[in-house]
Chains A and B, each alone.
Chain A
Amino acid sequence: MTMLLEPYRVLDATGPLGYLTGKILGDLGADVVKVEPPGGDPSRQWPPLIREGDRLPESLSWLACNVNKREIQLDLETDRGRRWFRSLAEKADIVLETFPPGRLDEWGLGYEVLRKDNPGLILVSITPFGQGGPYVDFLASDLEIMALGGVMSLTGEEGGEPMRVTVPAAPMWAGAEAAMGALTALVHRTMTGRGQRVDVSAQVAAMAAVAHAPIYWDLNRENPERSGIFMTGRTLTGARMRVMWPCQDGWINFIIYGGPAGRHTNRELVRWMAERDMAPAWLEEKDWSTFTVPKLTQEEIDKLEAPILAFMATITKRQFYERVLDRGMLGYPVATAKEIHQDPQLKERNFWQDVRVPGSERTLRFPGGFAIVNGKRLQVRVPAREPNEEVEKGERRR
């Protein structure tokens, strides 16, 4: 079985906002040639870093999104570099770029120019706000994109400072949605032969993370806001429900649900509490068969949650995880990177891959490709710098 994107060549001239797109296309088997400025991407120096012997520190955040690519260095500030780029674009199926809008045109590498050389070319431009509109020239990193995309307004303490995810998420949303855009155009080209330009807005990509929250405003003129460790919007009474519960060694994500799975979970939890003499009589006697959340008042919710809060404080994350797996209950521990590495489910599915660092004996344990296609886990290969001439000739190393 060949890989899904085996025949394709991608020229990847992205910065951090678009790194993930080429990585994803590479996961699926495309030959991705990454163009870096002389001396390499500045973000190769960004933490967290791996330090090894006398080699330069290598950024793990850079590496995480730049595996499954080959690398060359081109100076697009020079005529020679631009000629190389144009010649590589002529032989590419997809070009990915994150330059400020208009920069490629200034360099004589705009879409119209590239298309003359290669009519089937798909040019994917990934920028904070897209190629037009009033914010087109705004500067934006992860923080600004998460703010203008609305995501931060939903995370943080009630009335307090809006929060981003500590690890940048906007480049991930933008990079993943850009891959979807690139492939939509690719399927179309395969059916018709026609290439086109794809314009991606990271602001709108980040809006995917707010899920259906805007619809509360659109339908009912309610404006959902952040509520710390609680969740709102599930009741018609406006009551909030607890999501994060302190336990012996950290936190547990548990939510009281209705529906068949929720009712089963609630029964199982009360049974577990009763085993430890921590279920009040009224809770043990509660009939869950018609239990449903939307009409609950805050008072009813607080009453239900109080004994559960006391119980959760007596158990560990691992005990909780094992119990929910064993009894088919809803809920998960708030896992750390370490705990994720220890999860048997991921091990069993060959999720982790030990990949060799080029020019070194060292291997790094990487999260594997994002899916299993026809029984085979998508693979991760660590990139190596290659001479421009070889890449230009089109030889492909595997």
Chain B
Amino acid sequence: MRRRKRKPWGWGPTARIHTMMDALEGITGVEFGSFAAGPGIGKYLANFGARVIHVESAERPDGLRTHYPPFKDNKPGLNRAGAFAFWNDSKYGVTLNLKHPQGLELAHRLVEKSDFVVENMRPGVMARLGLGYDELKKRNRRLVLLSTSNMGQTGPYADHPGFGSQLSSLSGFSELIGRADGPPLFIYGPYIDLIAVAYGGIALLAALDHQRRTGEGSHIDLSQYEAGLQFVAAPLIDFAVNGNIARRNGNRDPVAVPHGCYPCRNGRWCVISCWDEEEWERFCYAAGLPALLRDAQFATASERRAHEAELNERISQRTREEDADRLMHRLQESRVHAAAVRTMRELFSDPQIAARDVWQKQRHGEMGEHHYRMGSFQLTETPGCVRKPAPCLGEHNEEIFCGWLGLEPNSYRELEKKGVFS
């Protein structure tokens, strides 16, 4: 068995060993990015204690601040944007005019003192600004640069602009959502951006670990398109091997039957799935549908599949009289897969989500008290949390440029007058 031969970087007399330090304490990163795909990554790291600095320009702030609802009380405003807040909690926010030579120099100084940079500009833009990987590396040999873009840094379509709401169609998801005989349905939000956020976080953390062990930097080229395709790898291989073109098929499943979503009282819904004969039997009794067990057309899984529309109708007739949550609990008590469909409002009252402390409150300068989301994983020794509200535009300029980078207050004011922070 190969064990790690060298001691991990950071071990030794100066390493801080105490019980409640943060997982990523001592790691700093700078973001040149906007919307969800870039900033979403830094948010996860910031939740676990990394210092993450979100760089914007005051002239062209993050697009989520300017043209994406929801705004607090439906009143648009740079510091009232919910979507911006959602992907930028726990970070520092600064503004820099990267087209001003002294603004560019300050960006370099931020990067010099940092461990990683995340950028999601169009490929080539960072280099044109003077912030390409080669330039950054000259001043910080061990830097990890994550470039995440629509279609990757290379290839004939690298420059093509796009949003996740549409890339989700190019990467096959839309084709796989909806009834078999209906149109492809819209999948909410910038779905694929969020897949790329997970893969971006993964690549970045692996590169930071490598940096900590070896002192070496890395450049990661992440295509949001290719990240999304990872989630549909099975149908892609199915085409390559068997020539099958996967299609949407409602809520049906090739293994479980029944496998569907059933209407309940008050416009609510409950999903139910049965994975073997025993579970099917338990379901029929627990749902109060023992007659289905005596019906020849539902006698075996293949019979049930052959008559699935009829089966779903029979189940629906019963569930319409039920409360979705009570049905879920009753079926689960009989060891049957079942779950109430949660709406966005219900995500705030679901007891399991509450038990995990997913929604964490912070008081935002302009929006007042509101909630931020923690991710799906928790660490027992170094738990993450929402550390502070999303920054107002340029909120931490002085704290970062004077406090952290060490600019004298006088030179800060001078640069400010020159428009370096605009």
> Which of the candidate stretches A78-86, A275-283, A370-378 sits at the interface with the other chain?
A370-378
Q: Among A157, A190, A210, A396, which residue has the most Cβ atoms of chain B within 10 A?
A: A190
> Which of the candidate stretches B51-59, B232-240, B286-294, B299-307 sits at the interface with the other chain?
B232-240
Of chain B, the residue at the smallest CB distance from A122 is: B379
| Residues of B in contact, count (CB < 8 Å) | 174
Separation of A366 and B246 alpha carbons in the complex (Å): 16
Range class of the A interface residue count: 35 or more
Asked if B273 is at the interface of the complex by the 8 Å CB criterion, the answer is yes
24 contacts between A and B (CB under 8 A): A60-B234, A135-B352, A139-B332, A145-B339, A152-B261, A157-B185, A163-B185, A176-B198, A183-B206, A184-B45, A188-B23, A192-B15, A193-B17, A198-B379, A199-B380, A208-B197, A210-B347, A211-B190, A220-B73, A234-B69, A253-B170, A335-B169, A335-B175, A345-B156
Q: Among A191, A230, A251, A330, which residue has the most Cβ atoms of chain B within 10 A?
A: A191
> In the assembled complex, which residues on chain A have CB atoms less than 8 Å from the CB atom of B178?
156, 163
Q: Are the C-beta atoms of A251 and B184 separated by less than 8 Å?
A: yes
> In the assembled complex, which residues on chain A have CB atoms less than 8 Å from the CB atom of B234?
48, 60-61, 63-64, 167
> In the assembled complex, which residues on chain B have CB atoms less than 8 Å from the CB atom of A255?
163, 165-166
Q: Are the C-beta atoms of B205 and A186 separated by less than 8 Å?
A: yes
Separation of A135 and B342 alpha carbons in the complex (Å): 14
> In the assembled complex, which residues on chain B have CB atoms less than 8 Å from the CB atom of A134?
351-352, 355
Separation of A225 and B87 alpha carbons in the complex (Å): 21
Q: Are the C-beta atoms of B261 and A147 separated by less than 8 Å?
A: yes
Q: Are the C-beta atoms of A172 and B220 separated by less than 8 Å?
A: no
Asked if B96 is at the interface of the complex by the 8 Å CB criterion, the answer is no
- Which residue from A133, A172, A217 sits with its C-beta under 8 Å from B356? A133
> In the assembled complex, which residues on chain B have CB atoms less than 8 Å from the CB atom of A133?
351-352, 355-356
> In the assembled complex, which residues on chain A have CB atoms less than 8 Å from the CB atom of B235?
48, 167, 337
> In the assembled complex, which residues on chain B have CB atoms less than 8 Å from the CB atom of A96?
none
Contact of A155 with B177 at beta-carbon distance under 8 Å, contacts A335-B169, A374-B218 already known = yes
Q: Are the C-beta atoms of B67 and A294 separated by less than 8 Å?
A: yes
Q: How far, in Å, is B419 (CB) from chain A's closest CB?
A: 22
Q: Among A154, A243, A345, A367, which residue has the most Cβ atoms of chain B within 10 A?
A: A345
Q: Among A157, A179, A205, A253, which residue has the most Cβ atoms of chain B within 10 A?
A: A253
Of chain A, the residue at the smallest CB distance from B200 is: A371
Q: How far, in Å, is A10 (CB) from chain B's closest CB?
A: 12
Q: Are the C-beta atoms of A174 and B376 separated by less than 8 Å?
A: yes
Q: Which of B190-241 contact A (CB under 8 A)?
A: 190-191, 194-195, 197-199, 201-203, 205-210, 212-213, 218-223, 225-227, 229-241
Asked if A314 is at the interface of the complex by the 8 Å CB criterion, the answer is no
Q: Are the C-beta atoms of B157 and A345 separated by less than 8 Å?
A: yes
> In the assembled complex, which residues on chain B have CB atoms less than 8 Å from the CB atom of A336?
172, 175, 245-246
Q: Are the C-beta atoms of B375 and A180 separated by less than 8 Å?
A: yes
Q: Are the C-beta atoms of A47 and B225 separated by less than 8 Å?
A: no
Of chain A, the residue at the smallest CB distance from B11 is: A193
Asked if A102 is at the interface of the complex by the 8 Å CB criterion, the answer is no
Asked if A162 is at the interface of the complex by the 8 Å CB criterion, the answer is yes
Q: Are the C-beta atoms of A366 and B233 separated by less than 8 Å?
A: yes
Contact of A351 with B226 at beta-carbon distance under 8 Å, contacts A167-B232, A177-B375 already known = yes
Q: Are the C-beta atoms of B226 and A346 separated by less than 8 Å?
A: yes
- Which residue from B36, B165, B249, B261 sits with its C-beta under 8 Å from A166? B249
Asked if A324 is at the interface of the complex by the 8 Å CB criterion, the answer is yes
Of chain A, the residue at the smallest CB distance from B41 is: A180
Asked if B130 is at the interface of the complex by the 8 Å CB criterion, the answer is no
Contact of A196 with B21 at beta-carbon distance under 8 Å, contacts A183-B202, A340-B171 already known = no
Asked if A338 is at the interface of the complex by the 8 Å CB criterion, the answer is yes
B-facing mask of A132-158, CB < 8 A → 1, else 0?
111101111101111111111111110
Q: Are the C-beta atoms of B355 and A132 separated by less than 8 Å?
A: yes
Q: Among B74, B157, B376, which residue has the most Cβ atoms of chain A within 10 A?
A: B376
Q: Are the C-beta atoms of B347 and A214 separated by less than 8 Å?
A: yes
Q: Are the C-beta atoms of A227 and B170 separated by less than 8 Å?
A: no
Of chain A, the residue at the smallest CB distance from B262 is: A161
Asked if B386 is at the interface of the complex by the 8 Å CB criterion, the answer is no
Q: Among A146, A203, A225, which residue has the most Cβ atoms of chain B within 10 A?
A: A203
Q: Among B74, B83, B241, B270, which residue has the most Cβ atoms of chain A within 10 A?
A: B241
Q: Which of A177-228 contact B (CB under 8 A)?
A: 177-181, 183-194, 196-205, 207-220, 222-228
> In the assembled complex, which residues on chain B have CB atoms less than 8 Å from the CB atom of A108?
none
When A and B form their complex, which 8 residue pairs have the shortest distance between CB atoms, in order from nearest?
A: A394-B1, A181-B377, A211-B189, A133-B355, A183-B205, A144-B339, A253-B169, A205-B376
Q: Are the C-beta atoms of B186 and A349 separated by less than 8 Å?
A: no
Asked if B244 is at the interface of the complex by the 8 Å CB criterion, the answer is yes
Q: Are the C-beta atoms of B184 and A345 separated by less than 8 Å?
A: no
Q: Are the C-beta atoms of B17 and A143 separated by less than 8 Å?
A: no
Q: How far, in Å, is A104 (CB) from chain B's closest CB?
A: 14
> In the assembled complex, which residues on chain B have CB atoms less than 8 Å from the CB atom of A132?
355
Q: Are the C-beta atoms of A172 and B230 separated by less than 8 Å?
A: yes
Separation of A226 and B179 alpha carbons in the complex (Å): 14
